[in-house]
Amino acid sequence: MAAEITQAAPAPGFLPLPCGAMRSDRAFTVIAWGVGLVGLVLPLGILGFLLIEGMARLSWAFLTEAPAGFPLGSAGGIAPAILGTLALVAIGLGVALPLGVAGAIGLVEYAPEDSPWVRVMRFGAECLAAVPAIVYGLFGYAVLVVLFRLQISLISGALTLGLMMLPIILIGAEEALRGVERSLREAALSLGVSRFNVVRRVILPKALPGILSVTLLAAGHAAGSAAPVMFTASVAFARGTPALDAPVMTLPSHLYYVVSEGADLEQAYATALVLVVGLLLANGCAALLKRRLAR
């Protein structure tokens, strides 16, 4: 832009850019576009690959049948894995969502603003959100599976995933609550409404899309990670509906077992597709909610 303008109408006193600079400018623009397109082609390419390869192997029976064949997973479907993943995330959310939202309300509404206590909490939560998933697996194994004798079971895995989602939900809910306009809160408080009712009737409804959005993100993150459930909940094969005290199959760990056995990858394509599409739906909804909130 700048180069074109100076070239078209060189103002008196300004010289057009030297030729070398123009050329390097043009090269720079080309490189920037090239790199930018990498950011476009890479995700679409990976998604396209999974879609094309996965769709060919996807069927209704695949979604509704249990795995079969030898080695396991070379025939049949992934119904128990879908159920297991849903159960794990649902129970985990049942723990993490109330705790996270209540904690966030405590931080935003019942703590003095910008007290060191709030900052320490936020720092701790951000550190924990960054701790690798496998560390949660280590913790879940040592505490839930071994110490509390819950064995490798749905409940151990769900609590582990709940712990993993907790800091994400806490941070997100806190941001959503803080994002509610000050004037609303102050107007309500000035009318003599108690803090509790201000939170319940004014702040929470306003912050709800933001909280839901981060909850979906956290749930998607948890549903997709195999590392925390590998030692706490998942087995290569489980039948029937998930029970609290029995191990379950999960989509990511099923995919891992099938690939690491390395025998027959046909089913793995479809499993990966189901997992990715499910997570994309969750993330897409989260993004929509966030955008609605921004407007």
Range 136-165, binding other proteins (CB under 8 A):
136-139, 141-143, 146, 163
Residue 99 binds other proteins, judged by CB under 8 A = yes
Q: How many residues bind other proteins (CB under 8 A)?
A: 95
- Considering only 80, 210, 220, 242, the residue that binds other proteins (CB under 8 A) is 220
The CB-of-261 to other proteins minimum distance in angstroms stands at: 11
d(CA 217, CA 204): 19
Residue 199 binds other proteins, judged by CB under 8 A = yes
d(CA 264, CA 245): 31
- Which of 1/240 has CB closer to other proteins? 1
Which helix (H) or strand (E) segment is 67 a member of?
strand 67-68
- Cα-based torsion angle of the residue sequence 180, 219, 283, 98 in order, rounded to the nearest 10 degrees: -20
Cis peptide, bond prior to residue 71, ω within 30 of zero: yes
Q: What is the DSSP letter of 76?
A: E
Residue 268 binds other proteins, judged by CB under 8 A = yes
- Considering only 65, 66, 76, 106, the residue that binds other proteins (CB under 8 A) is 106
d(CA 130, CA 123): 11
Q: Scanning residues 31 to 50, which ones bind other proteins (CB under 8 A)?
A: 31-33, 35-36, 38-40, 42-44, 46-47, 49-50
d(CA 237, CA 100): 33
Stretch that binds other proteins, among 75-83, 206-214, 237-245, 255-263 (CB under 8 A): 255-263
Residue 14 binds other proteins, judged by CB under 8 A = yes
Residue 6 binds other proteins, judged by CB under 8 A = yes
Q: What is the DSSP letter of 71?
A: T
